[in-house]
A and B are shown apart, each in its own frame.
Chain A
């Protein structure tokens, strides 16, 4: 399977909103509402931020939201804060009991 396509970097100022896209195909994102988003700080394991396209674990701030249209999923971070500076990865179920990740997006808070 090919990795999902994410922008290498996205930046924004404190308080702004940013959106990270994640583009797949009809075989993964386009076929299943099983897109997740993970945040990763350097040297740490990833942490789940969004699952099933739009759902947020209880511990995750409501500043994080997800959506999907066709073969592209998106993660929006509103009210950008300094602690949002991290790498973000999308993932999608890809059929046949497999999963695929995106290449990752580095979020920079200006």
Chain B
């Protein structure tokens, strides 16, 4: 079945960087954008951005521009999210999710997400 499997939990110090992986299976990896969403402890979902696995093109939410990169390895059907200069406020569970797109106004736009990865806890603490 279609699924996304993420890498394990990470503990990092402030100022460090982290890379989270998300391996797809059960579908053609390059046919669907991969989005990243994070959830701080006890908080809601925050959309971070997306990457097109075929082209490598990316779009980021304003809060993450300049500090997050999204890449992929099509030989292993794996997407990566790297965040630099970590702060304590970045402590969260990070999810990858496959996006289904729709056409609106002649262009492809984000519709809904599914499946989701199981989540990766990134804890930032000195």
Q: Does A101 contact B (CB under 8 A)?
A: yes
Which residues of chain A are near B37, meaning CB under 8 Å?
A: 101
In the complex, how many angstroms separate the beta carbon of A86 from the nearest chain B beta carbon? 13
> What are 7 A-B residue pairs whose CB atoms fall within 8 Å in the complex?
A32-B104, A45-B117, A47-B114, A52-B111, A91-B112, A98-B47, A101-B46
Interface size on A, residues (CB 8 A): 26
Tell whether, in the assembled complex, residue B110 and residue A101 are in contact, meaning their CB atoms are under 8 Å apart: no
Which residues of chain B are near A12, meaning CB under 8 Å?
A: none
Tell whether, in the assembled complex, residue A89 and residue B44 are in contact, meaning their CB atoms are under 8 Å apart: yes
Closest residue of A by beta carbon distance from B60: A98
Closest residue of B by beta carbon distance from A36: B112
Tell whether, in the assembled complex, residue B62 and residue A93 are in contact, meaning their CB atoms are under 8 Å apart: no
Q: How far is the CA of A40 from the CA of B37 in the complex (A)?
A: 13
Which residues of chain B are near A40, meaning CB under 8 Å?
A: 45
- Interface contacts beyond A52-B102, A101-B37: sample of 15 additional A-B pairs, CB < 8 Å, sorted by A: A3-B46, A32-B109, A34-B102, A38-B113, A45-B95, A45-B119, A46-B95, A46-B116, A52-B112, A91-B45, A93-B109, A97-B109, A101-B45, A101-B47, A102-B44
Per-position binary interface string of chain B over residues 33-65, scored 1 when its CB falls under 8 Å from any chain A CB and 0 otherwise: 001010000001111001000000001011000
Q: Does A30 contact B (CB under 8 A)?
A: no
Q: Looking at chain B's contact residues, is the secondary structure mostly helix, strand, loop, or mixed?
A: strand
Q: How far is the CA of A102 from the CA of B37 in the complex (A)?
A: 13
Q: Does B118 contact A (CB under 8 A)?
A: yes
Tell whether, in the assembled complex, residue B111 and residue A101 are in contact, meaning their CB atoms are under 8 Å apart: no
Tell whether, in the assembled complex, residue B45 and residue A48 are in contact, meaning their CB atoms are under 8 Å apart: no
Which residues of chain A are near B116, meaning CB under 8 Å?
A: 45-47
Contacts A34-B102, A46-B116 given; does A99 touch B110 at CB 8 Å: yes
Q: Does A64 contact B (CB under 8 A)?
A: no
Tell whether, in the assembled complex, residue A1 and residue B62 are in contact, meaning their CB atoms are under 8 Å apart: yes
